[in-house]
Amino acid sequence: MEVIHKDPPMREEIAAGFYPAFEDGWRRAEIAGRFGMLAFVALCALGLLGHGPFSERTRTNADDSITIRYEPVVRFGAPTILRLDTRVPPGGDKVAVTIAKNLVDLFGLESITPRPETWQVAGANIRLVFPVLQGETRALIRFTGSPSFRGGVDLTARLDAGETLSWSQYAVP
């Protein structure tokens, strides 16, 4: 077999301590790599790369009809929760929320609590109607899903008579 690397004689290598300059350089790379690992683990532990103690954000639309708690950064295929806190029309016993189709498709929607009374296709969106106890002023709706997209996606939700609330989620692999 052809010798591609012709190493010096063994005695010379041992006398020179092999390749201390390389090992010094590798030691620096090792330390940098360990700090990199520590930084990545810290980001994950804090929830900046998916679910964690600081992963949730809250966003409210201009007319305060919908407030959402969501995770701006989610992990592909990992469960995540969206909580919509919506205003109930005065005297009403139903709340209708129109959500972006992407919420069902890309978000990998698995369950909605409470269960919607009706689902209606509304253009590129889906309109969901939820029963609400008479007299309630706010309704909390919980969507759970496992994102089936990578990268960013823009999502929207709005009440029948309300401003559109938009938010973005970014899925890491």
Partner 1 sequence: MNTVVKAAAAYLIVLFVIRLIGRRTASQQAPIDMVVLFLFGGLSVSAVLGDDHSFTGAMSALLTVGLMHVAVSWLKLRFVWFERIVDGTPIVVYRDGVWDEARMRQLRMQQADIRTAARQQGLDDLDKVAVGIVERDGKVSIIEKA
Write out the binding residues for partner 1, residues 10-29 only, by CB under 8 A: 13-14, 17-19, 22-23, 26-27
Residue from 9, 91, 123, 173 binding partner 1 (CB under 8 A): 173
CB closer to partner 1 out of 36 and 131: 36
Write out the binding residues for partner 1, residues 69-88 only, by CB under 8 A: 77
Residue from 150, 163, 166, 170 binding partner 1 (CB under 8 A): 150
CB closer to partner 1 out of 37 and 46: 37
Calculate the dihedral angle through the C-alpha atoms of 127, 133, 135, 140, rounding to the nearest 10 degrees: -60
For position 51 contacting partner 1 by CB under 8 A, the verdict is no
Residue from 5, 54, 62, 123 binding partner 1 (CB under 8 A): 5
Question: What is the per-residue binding string for partner 1 in 105-144, x denoting contact by CB under 8 A?
Answer: ----------------------------------------
CA distance 32 to 27: 9
Smallest gap from Cβ 10 to partner 1, in A, equals: 10
CA distance 65 to 95: 11
CB closer to partner 1 out of 101 and 150: 150
Q: Which residues bind partner 1 (CB under 8 A)?
A: 4-5, 13-14, 17-19, 22-23, 26-27, 30, 33-34, 37, 77, 150, 173
